[in-house]
């Protein structure tokens, strides 16, 4: 019979107590560190309560009413064989069908209900001047401003500036009204905390917060505004409301959002207060806004264009065309110049130039550093006044047979009628493009080539000479005029 033994563990109570005590101490230490960490994190977040209490009184809700224009007495319904008077003779059911807002025939003109809209704004003077967006009050027949204390006061439209989407209102009989403090948007830094007060979807005095995401953003609809980009939640109804910094100063006017859904998606844009106050003062004092004007068409300098023009890196604004009779033409600027500095300010992106020019007082001389022929030169240009959109000036403006080039291009002399319609005085017209460097560069049939590798092309002979001297394996610039607009393309022979 096998003998078995049972192992008996022996232990001392003292070591066990030490282990338990040590474990408890570690747990307590972890709790203390976690509490400290949470407290430190909380201390790092801004507290907006005091700032909101101080500034909410100067933020207003703006509601507008627009009355449709009255219809002509005998206005017909989209070609139907009866007019307004004849419609009155129809049974009530059919009258409602044709006049109703859901009518497939558009309803009876003059019978639609007044339209209403809502937005935000803020008071900048104790006597009642209010800043908001132009699109909030555009077309309004009646404007009502509602204050934080629930007073509703009528306001008149002093003036607008559609280019910056700005509007100035005046509260009638305004006196001793609360006023916001305005800061300096030029002192903003990316990553700085900001917050907004407005009325999204009609919810008055809603506060949202975030950070400055980027500065100097250019949008296609407003080239003269260097927008502040934030991630502050902005929605319909916030338009025209103030954007504050942590000093309680207004540093922007919430204006636009980027969205694919119609609501906030994390990208909001505000008009810098420096630009907004300049517009306000001009509208208040002069009733209109005047901006500086250079008179050039510009484009971005990408890597290939930078190489073709001899720049070490992409920067500046490439002048694709100079307007006839413009300040730029008078100051000696030429197509193909790359503006590197404007009055001492670096021009890194082409979108940097329009706001700089727009802020320059009309008649003042600006000093431009441009790259021309591989060398930097300084030009002095007297800035003109930006023309109204309806009166904008148009761009300024051989014999021989067709020629097929090794670039894959077929070109012909430029007909005089096409030259007149394009606004150019010389060049060659592209009649065919085969696969090759020219096609890869984006040159297409009916383009007019006026310059290759910084050499003017006025005829087929000029074109032939220019392509014979092209460097191999290096990007070169080609200036083409397409549908009346000049643009530089990059070609790699």
What does the alpha-carbon distance between residue 290 and residue 387 come to, in Å, rounded to a whole number? 9
| Active-site residue, 165 included | yes
Record the tokens describing residue 259, joined without a space.
């969205």
Measure Cα distances from 216 to 14, 134, 186, 252, 472 in Å. Answer: 70, 21, 10, 12, 38
* Tokens of residue 74, six digits: 């005998």
What is the spatial distance between Cα 140 and Cα 265, in angstroms, rounded to a whole number?
A: 29
Structure tokens at 283: 């509208």
Pairing of strands 166-171, 129-133: antiparallel
Residue 34: what are its φ and ψ, rounded to 5°? -65, -40
274 φψ region: left (φ > 0), alpha (ψ -120 to 50), beta (else): alpha
Size (the chain), residues: 493
Closest to 343 in 3D by CA, of 322, 319, 324, 365: 365
- Tokens 């509601």 locate to 63
Task: For residue 371, give every residue at least 6 positions away whose Cβ sits within 8 Å of its Cβ, in sequence order, or none.
Answer: 309, 310, 311, 316, 337, 338, 340
Is 239 annotated as catalytic? Answer: yes
Task: Using the structure block, give the residue that is written with the tokens 């509602």.
Answer: 146
Q: Which of 66, 103, 135, 304 is catalytic?
A: 135
Residue 107 to residues 113, 117, 399, Cα–Cα distance (Å): 11, 21, 61
Instruction: With CA atoms as reference, report the closest residue to 122 among 169, 162, 159.
Output: 169
Kind and range of the H or E run holding 467: helix 460-468
268 classed as catalytic: no
- Among residues 117, 199, 239, 268, the one annotated as catalytic is 239
Query: Which residue in 400, 329, 316 sits closest to 356, CA to CA?
Result: 316
| Phi, then psi, of 138 in degrees rounded to 5 | -60, 125
d(C-alpha 115, C-alpha 112), whole Å: 9
Per annotation, catalytic residue among 117, 120, 164, 165 = 165
Give how far Cα 453 sits from Cα of 225, 305, 468, 477, Å: 34, 11, 11, 5
Task: Return d(Cα 168, Cα 156) in angstroms, integer.
Answer: 9
As a whole number of angstroms, the distance between CA 243 and CA 404 comes to 59
C-alpha count within 13 angstroms, C-beta hemisphere, residue 224: 21
Direct distance between the N- and C-terminal alpha carbons of the chain, in angstroms, rounded to an integer = 100
Catalytic residues: 135, 165, 239
């Amino acid at each position: 019979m096998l003998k078995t033994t049972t192992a008996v563990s022996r232990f001392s109570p003292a070591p066990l107590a030490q282990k338990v005590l040590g474990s408890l101490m570690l747990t307590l230490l972890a709790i203390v560190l976690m509490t400290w960490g949470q407290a430190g994190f909380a201390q790092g977040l801004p507290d907006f309560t005091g700032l909101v209490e101080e500034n909410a009184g100067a933020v207003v809700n703006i509601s507008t009413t627009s009355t449709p224009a009255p219809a002509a007495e005998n206005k017909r319904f989209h070609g139907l064989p009866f007019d307004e008077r004849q419609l009155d003779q129809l049974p009530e059911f059919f009258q409602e069908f044709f006049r109703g807002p859901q009518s497939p025939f558009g309803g009876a003109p003059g019978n639609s209900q007044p339209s209403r809209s809502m937005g935000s704004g803020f008071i900048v003077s104790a006597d009642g001047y209010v800043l908001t967006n132009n699109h909030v009050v555009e077309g309004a027949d009646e404007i009502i401003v509602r204050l934080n204390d629930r007073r509703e006061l009528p306001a008149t439209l002093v003036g607008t500036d559609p280019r910056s989407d700005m509007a100035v209102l005046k509260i009638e009989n305004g006196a001793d009204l609360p006023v916001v403090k305005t800061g300096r948007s030029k002192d903003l830094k990316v990553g700085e905390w900001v917050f907004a007060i407005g009325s999204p979807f009609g919810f008055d005095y809603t506060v949202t917060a975030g950070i400055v995401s980027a500065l100097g953003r250019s949008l296609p609809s407003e080239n003269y505004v260097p927008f502040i980009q934030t991630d502050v939640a902005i929605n319909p109804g916030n338009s025209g409301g103030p954007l504050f910094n942590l000093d309680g100063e207004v540093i922007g006017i919430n204006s636009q959002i980027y969205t694919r859904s119609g609501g906030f998606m994390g990208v909001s844009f505000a008009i810098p207060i420096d630009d907004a106050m300049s517009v306000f003062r001009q509208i208040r004092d002069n009733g209109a806004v005047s901006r500086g004007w250079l008179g050039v068409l510009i484009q971005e300098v990408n890597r290939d264009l930078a190489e073709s023009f001899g720049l070490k890196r992409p920067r500046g604004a490439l002048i694709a065309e100079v307007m006839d009779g413009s300040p730029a033409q008078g100051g000696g600027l030429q197509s193909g110049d790359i503006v590197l500095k404007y009055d001492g300010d670096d021009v890194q992106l082409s979108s940097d130039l329009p706001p700089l020019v727009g802020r320059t007082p009309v008649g003042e001389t600006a000093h431009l550093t441009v790259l021309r022929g591989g060398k930097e030169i300084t030009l002095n240009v007297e800035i003109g006044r930006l023309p109204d959109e309806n009166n904008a000036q148009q761009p300024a403006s051989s014999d021989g047979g067709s020629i097929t080039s090794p670039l894959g291009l077929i070109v012909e002399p430029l007909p005089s009628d096409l030259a007149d319609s394009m606004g150019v005085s010389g060049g060659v017209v592209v009649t065919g493009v085969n696969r090759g460097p020219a096609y890869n560069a984006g040159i297409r049939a009916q383009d007019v080539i006026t310059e290759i590798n910084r050499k003017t092309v006025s005829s087929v002979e000029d074109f032939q000479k220019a392509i014979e001297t092209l460097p191999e394996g290096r990007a070169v610039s080609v200036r083409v005029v397409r549908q009346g607009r000049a643009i530089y393309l990059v070609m790699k022979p």
